[in-house]
Amino acid sequence: MPFTCSAHVSHNTVMSEPALSTAGAAAPAADPQPLEFEHPLNERMRTFLRLDFLYSQALYHNEMASQWGSRAAMASLIDILAITTPRDVRSDVLKELESQLATFNQFQSKPGVDAQRLKTLMSNLLRLRGELMTVGSTVLQPLRESEFLNAIKRRSAIPGGTCEFDLPDYYFWLTQPDDARIRTFNQWLGLLRPLCDAIAELLWLTRQNGRTRQEVARAGTFNVTFERETPLQLLRITLPAGAGLYPEISGSHHGCNVRFLTWTGIGSRPTQVQSDVPFTLTCCT
């Protein structure tokens, strides 16, 4: 049963907190982390995962304090605008927040629930919902209507189209002091933050609500059929870091087919594993 453990819950902070510096400290050797492969089972989850990835990427490159870092961050920002322009992602996020809050409300009267943990989770969701509602549906209009960003977006469709002779104003901006560029880019990211922080929390909750079991792919192949009564949003496959394998996943919310392939290097085609492959399967609602 979820929400019955009294252990401390660490919320998703990847998108809102910088990584701690370990300079000058000798970190102990750690075992390689297992490899996690995720497959979204609906269009909403696919969009959330892409935005989470692009926002994290933009944050990382913006802090690199170089012209190339700013170019990479800009590419991520342009991709975010491309995803959010044709559909109302904010509305999708608000619906998902409401759904999670409704689920948590049902647990308040159940015995054995860690009340403090549940309160923390609900408070966080209420805060994110409030921030997203406060900024309104037109929060991204300044980015969408910016002539500067739109010019970069148009030229980005051409290979090498953002060279200095194509966009002299972009080149001039890139030559400004690092702190000035970072400050400007952080203002743009600030408009995205309420949306992307809410997405990060929803993804964290989805992963936390997964049911994990050990499975074996016979001759490298595994088929899974999902229960119609319990719609799933995300499939996760975990393999040891040194397995030398990766899964190829296809399917939808009805079921998935998984093939495990052997990594043979970038110069040759991967081959399907012929032996049995033990792995961890997590189905997230």
Helix (H/G/I), strand (E/B), else coil: 53: helix
The verdict on 163 and 234 lying in the same domain is no
pLDDT (mean) for 153-161: 95
Supply the pTM of this predicted model: 0.87
The verdict on 108 and 193 lying in the same domain is yes
143-149, long-range: CB < 8 A, 24+ apart? 143/77, 143/81, 143/188, 143/191, 143/192, 144/81, 144/85, 148/173, 149/77, 149/78, 149/81
Are 60 and 68 in contact by the 8 Å Cβ rule? The answer is no
The verdict on 197 and 257 lying in the same domain is no
Position 240 pLDDT exceeds 60: yes
Last residue of a domain, one of 208, 224, 245: 208
* First vs last C-alpha separation in the chain: 13
Give buried/exposed letters for 170-201 (b at 16+ CB in 10 A, else e). Answer: beebbeeeeeebbeebeebbeebbbbbbbbbb
pLDDT tens digits along 34-55 = 999 999 999 999 999 999 999 9
* Residues linked to residue 270 through DSSP beta bridges, in sequence order: none
Helix (H/G/I), strand (E/B), else coil: 158: coil
The structural domain count of the chain equals: 2
Q: What is the pLDDT of residue 98?
A: 96
pLDDT band of residue 254 (cuts 50, 70, 90) is confident
Answer yes or no: is 221 within a domain: yes
Position 239 pLDDT exceeds 90: yes
The verdict on 148 and 239 lying in the same domain is no
Q: What one-letter code names the amino acid at 127?
A: R
Answer yes or no: is 64 within a domain: yes
Answer yes or no: is 277 within a domain: yes
- Kindly list the distances between the CA atom of residue 90 and the CA atoms of 5, 51, 86, 146, in Å, as whole numbers in the listed order: 32, 12, 12, 20
Q: What is the CATH number of the domain that holds 100?
A: 1.10.3900.10
Higher pLDDT, 219 or 5: 219
Q: What one-letter code names the amino acid at 153?
A: K
Position 248 pLDDT exceeds 50: yes
One-letter-per-residue 3-state SS of 180-239 = HHHHHHHHHHHHHHHHHHHHHHHHHHHHHCEEEEEEEEECCEEEEECCCCCCCCEEEEEE
Which residue range forms the structural domain that includes residue 217?
Answer: 211-284
Q: What is the CATH number of the domain that holds 240?
A: 2.60.440.10
Q: What is the pLDDT of residue 16?
A: 41
pLDDT tens digits along 91-132 = 999 999 999 999 999 888 888 888 899 999 999 999 999 999
Are 194 and 132 in contact by the 8 Å Cβ rule? The answer is yes
Helix (H/G/I), strand (E/B), else coil: 35: strand
